[in-house]
A and B are shown apart, each in its own frame.
Chain A
């Protein structure tokens, strides 16, 4: 087991390096050249001397590999993501400011999604091809077809400017406002929850359907278990295995899912900050956030795989 974990950790590290190489290289291809950010940061009336000085200060004039090596040492040895070019803050402090805000928003929405999606999936599977199944399937297809930004704008139109007059969440401030002013967060949280609904309830439905054809379900029915007991005691519990894996895998995706919601509701979280920094060429911030999300993703994959390895020893033997 230890060897498996160590090998997976090494693989994850290699993947992390590839990501770092790709993300570090991309800004090099920008049309304005490597000094393009200088013109944005120093704004309109920068003298050539100022631009040159800025380049020297930020090590712009070193060769690519020297810069990459410096960045690698800085991140992997010193755990320092650098200093933002745009805000007067280090990238770590920016991240510690914005990550909690996104985490609270996304995890509440995720909880809501699961609370709705799992029962819907189970009922759909247990009454397969009934009118409820068809109605839910078609509804979920429609939800899947709505772009995230459009659903958010619809929600704003209906629930904030419409008849209900909910409030918009505050743009900035403490991450814990979601608990002190819950009414302001109802609309974004529900929107985000609805967006993930289709994925999880479809997945739950197919997982329960897979379990329902197994022999032990027939045995349970044969020994006289009630329908309800078969469904919740035998089918639901066994279907939870793949669901837990997929939940583990999708946690980093929550950041991405929250991005558009944050943009539309003007709520300053990680996604908002990424788009803002990318538009204003704040490369250290974008790189830092990207690497952090990559790290989350890799850890999620790793934990899911180790979990599977504990449950299913064959995976360890095959040593993927």
Chain B
């Protein structure tokens, strides 16, 4: 469960691409708005564009697909009229699963839950992590020490124990799962953001601003926040990927969204537990799922490049 280890994200380590930096340096466009420059750097990354296109397609597939591809996904009694574990045919494009549900439609149905829960939970982790990290790093002193010790404690509890306790305590509704994953996932983010705030607080222009009598709110608003936006956005993308992975692991432990709803983790687990498994129940969904994670990671990388100050033309 490498996703559960609270280590710095390995995909977050690569430096900016120097060749791209050279390519973007020119003297003519000193007044191009910041966001447009960032957009251009982002658009230069072909993999990132492909990833965005892929994610949009998957979202459309999951949310609009059921309008075109009608299939029963909630009524067990009707599903049992189908042959169980049937091979792919024109009637069932990806066959049926062990309960007789149409797999093609079920990928859409489970995807709605996986994607929306993952994104919302990732959003919670990033909001809580940013606020906690900013307060800790920016105020410093005793507050920082206290906050960091609490964070140390939370980081050294095995996540699986927190998870199992929280999931047993609260009923497993969608809202609760979002909150639980959000509450468990923010520790690493807080540490990254706090490190960022510590650096920015000591930069020359922040000190100059403070020397000229700026209040803390001014410094936070004008210096700390704009300078950490890049990290926040990057961390947010990886947080969403991690949240989706986390939800999948919950599905494996049998703690995913309870029936009659389902999510990709529960589906993958139910299908792959049968050994040897039926390929149509596992491989298509696994490919879609893994590519979603990879696509989000590529977008995160491209966003980090786009927000990298060294790559800008000013």
Contact = CB atoms under 8 A, between A and B. Distances in A.
Given A26-B169, A30-B168, A196-B2, A206 B153 contact: no
Contacts of A209: 14-15
A274 B157 CA distance: 12
A33 to B, nearest CB: 12
A150 B268 contact: yes
B214 interface: no
A200 B7 CA distance: 11
A187 to B, nearest CB: 13
A289 B161 CA distance: 10
B11 interface: yes
A294 B74 CA distance: 42
A290 B157 contact: yes
B152 to A, nearest CB: 5
A199 interface: yes
B81 interface: no
A99 interface: no
Interface string B141-162: 0000000011011111111111
B303 to A, nearest CB: 15
B75 to A, nearest CB: 28
Contact of B156 (A27, A162, A294): A294
B253 interface: yes
A19 B223 CA distance: 35
Interface stretch (B125-133, B177-185, B289-297, B304-312): B289-297
Interface string B269-282: 10011011100000
Given A157-B272, A199-B7, A271 B160 contact: yes
Interface residues of B, number: 55
A274 B160 contact: yes
Contacts of B19: 129
B164 A144 contact: no
Interface in A229-288: 246, 249-250, 252-253, 255-257, 259-260, 263, 271, 274-275, 278-279, 286
A305 to B, nearest CB: 11
Interface of A is mostly: helix
A199 B269 CA distance: 24
Contacts of B10: 144, 198-200, 202-203
B5 A253 contact: yes
Contacts of B4: 256-257, 259
A26 B180 CA distance: 14
Nearest to B5: A253
B290 A145 contact: yes
A252 B6 CA distance: 11
B14 A141 contact: no
Contacts of A298: 152, 156
A133 to B, nearest CB: 10
Interface in A140-183: 141-142, 144-150, 153-154, 156-157, 160-162
Interface of B is mostly: helix
A149 B165 contact: no
A294 to B, nearest CB: 5
A274 B276 contact: no
A278 B297 contact: no
A298 B4 CA distance: 17
A27 B169 CA distance: 8
Nearest to B152: A15
Nearest to A28: B169
B5 A256 contact: yes
Nearest to A147: B248
Given A202-B13, A274-B160, A290-B157, A147 B7 contact: no
B276 A162 contact: yes
Given A31-B169, A141-B294, A145-B294, A253 B7 contact: yes
Most chain A CB within a 10 A radius of its CB, from B2, B164, B298: B2
Contacts of A275: 160, 164, 253
Contact of A14 (B149, B245, B290, B298): B149
A199 B2 CA distance: 9
B265 interface: yes
A271 to B, nearest CB: 7
A297 B156 contact: yes
A293 B19 CA distance: 45
Given A15-B149, A27-B165, A249-B7, A141 B298 contact: yes
A157 B278 CA distance: 10
Nearest to A197: B2
A157 B277 contact: yes
Interface string A196-214: 1011101101100110000
A203 B9 CA distance: 9
B161 A146 contact: no
Interface string B236-262: 000001000100110011000000000
A105 interface: no
A249 B276 CA distance: 38
Given A259-B1, A278-B161, A297-B156, A149 B249 contact: yes
The 4 closest A-B pairs by CB, nearest first: A145-B293, A202-B10, A18-B153, A253-B5
17 contacts: A14-B149, A138-B294, A145-B241, A145-B294, A145-B297, A147-B3, A148-B3, A198-B10, A200-B10, A202-B10, A203-B10, A259-B158, A275-B253, A289-B161, A290-B157, A293-B156, A297-B156
Given A138-B294, A278-B160, 18 more contacts: A26-B166, A29-B165, A129-B19, A142-B290, A144-B2, A146-B286, A147-B265, A154-B286, A203-B13, A206-B14, A253-B5, A256-B158, A256-B160, A259-B160, A274-B158, A274-B161, A275-B164, A293-B156
